[in-house]
Amino acid sequence: MSQKVLYFDCFSGISGDMTLSALVNLGVPREYLLSELKKLPLDGYRIEFKDDQKKGIWGLRADVILEEEPHSHGQDHDHEYSHDHGHSHDHGHSHDHGHSHDHEHRNFAAIKTLFQESSLSKEVIDLAMRIFARVAEAEGKIHNKPADQVHFHEVGAVDSIVDIAAAAICMDYLKPDAVYCSPVELGGGFVKCAHGMMPVPAPATLEILKGIPVKTGAVPFETTTPTGAAILAEVVDTFTASLTMAPEKTAYGIGHRDTDIPNVLRVFWCKPAEEALEDKSLEAVLVDCNIDDMNPELYSPLLDKLFECGVYDAYLTPIIMKKGRPAVKLSILAPLEKEEEIGKLILTETSSFGFRTSYVRKQNLDRKIETRESSLGPVRVKSLYSKDEKIKSKLEFEDCLRISQEKDMTLPDVYRILGGEVL
């Protein structure tokens, strides 16, 4: 069974809202996410999704809109270290909603109660609590307090609660077998917090990312928030700068600030490279050469030998070479393991001095051959399938030819009769 691997490419950092955007864009149904969030006893917000782009890269942007006490854009808020939305230092992922944030001084214990009173699944609640615990423990260490006693706006604000709950819901829906992540870009410069100007990364972010590979300096702003860092620290199995995988589906979560690099979070499904290489039915070698000085009588036995060798296909194409010379192009499509044998056949069975080789991806329908009874006798029928759905069927030519000879009938008549009876 193929392994489902989820990869976070954090070349422009990560925040809670970008995680939500990217995972929904990857395949979590919006309706499912919104219905699950309603199980949390929390109101006063709505989520708006829209297509957006940064530096020409299109993806999905999610805004958590707070519905109480509107105020002007860009209003400063005194809070603890980096908030994921609309905060005064306006880092690379800030929402800047234009709505008041719920600045109740919720502590970690109160948030536990909020989730325990919800009807979310145990798996979602457990993951959300582990992510919140990462932030609470980091803040507690910085402020020299037990995690349960930390009062701070970061995990107390509605939008951050929604981001973390949404991340847990999305991860539970996707159910990856493994999660990988690139080194995390933190940005640079300074960030304005309740205690004054702090260097990027903010203390809580740096505490959460202990032992995790990071990079800095891509832009002079904060690009990774405590919420984004805590999500990664909890869900990622392996951090690596060198990914040996075969990507299968890519999605982008769009940030809010315009920076010199695309302000996006890229995520993709992939499978281990070994699995891709083992999928021989989809990998093939294409070998071809031009021939202008060979006896045409030799082509037929050459094609016979190639098919006996086990190639997928072999064919001849008339071409005109330099100086107007007519020639033939020999093309051979074959399994990868036949490459050496085919090369030897070309050099020994043709007048060519060499050949060209390229590697291609071969896709074909699954096939099944059945023998069916008809008024003209037994005939084989080849049926072609895609994921167990029959796409088309055709009569085997050799059987039709045999019947036409045995019955002294024309081939068109054989096809007409058999086609009406067995297809």
More confident residue, 368 or 266: 266
The full 3-state SS of 205-234, as one line of letters, equals: HHHHCCCCCEECCCCCCECECHHHHHHHHH
Percent of the chain clearing pLDDT 90 (strictly above): 64
Average pLDDT, the chain: 85
349 three-state secondary structure: helix
pLDDT band at 102 (very low <50, low <70, confident <90, very high): very low
- What pLDDT does 146 receive? 76
Residue range 156-204, pLDDT digits in tens? 578 889 999 999 999 999 999 999 999 999 999 987 766 678 888 888 8
Is residue 246 pLDDT above 90, yes or no? no
- What pLDDT does 149 receive? 64
- What pLDDT does 91 receive? 35
- What pLDDT does 206 receive? 93
362, with CB counted inside 10 A (0-12, 13-18, 19+), is: middle
Percent of the chain clearing pLDDT 70 (strictly above): 86
- What pLDDT does 83 receive? 38
Q: Which element (helix H / strand E) includes 421?
A: helix 411-422
Cis bond upstream, residue 201 (ω within 30): yes
- What pLDDT does 275 receive? 66
Q: Average pLDDT of 246-259?
A: 90
Is residue 101 pLDDT above 60, yes or no? no
250 Cβ contact list (under 8 Å, min separation 6): 266, 267, 268
Strand partners, 356: 288
Look at phi and psi of residue 189 and say left if phi exceeds 0, alpha if psi is from -120 to 50, else beta: left
Of 138, 107, 116, 126, the C-alpha closest to 235 is 126
- Record the pTM: 0.61
- What pLDDT does 308 receive? 92
304, with CB counted inside 10 A (0-12, 13-18, 19+), is: exposed
In whole angstroms, how far apart are CA 373 and each of 32, 378, 409?
A: 51, 4, 18
- What pLDDT does 388 receive? 79
- What pLDDT does 226 receive? 92
Residue range 37-85, pLDDT digits in tens? 999 999 889 999 999 999 999 999 999 988 764 443 333 332 333 334 3
Of 35, 22, 20, 8, the C-alpha closest to 163 is 20
**Amino acid sitting at position 379:** V
Strand partners, 382: 369, 394
Is residue 279 pLDDT above 70, yes or no? no
pLDDT band at 315 (very low <50, low <70, confident <90, very high): very high
- Distance (Å, whole) CA 288 – CA 189: 57
283: tokens are 């990998």
In whole angstroms, how far apart are CA 201 and each of 43, 84, 114, 116, 214?
A: 31, 14, 29, 32, 10
Walk across the sheet containing 5-9 and list its strands. Answer: 45-54, 57-66, 245-254, 264-272, 5-9, 178-181, 238-239
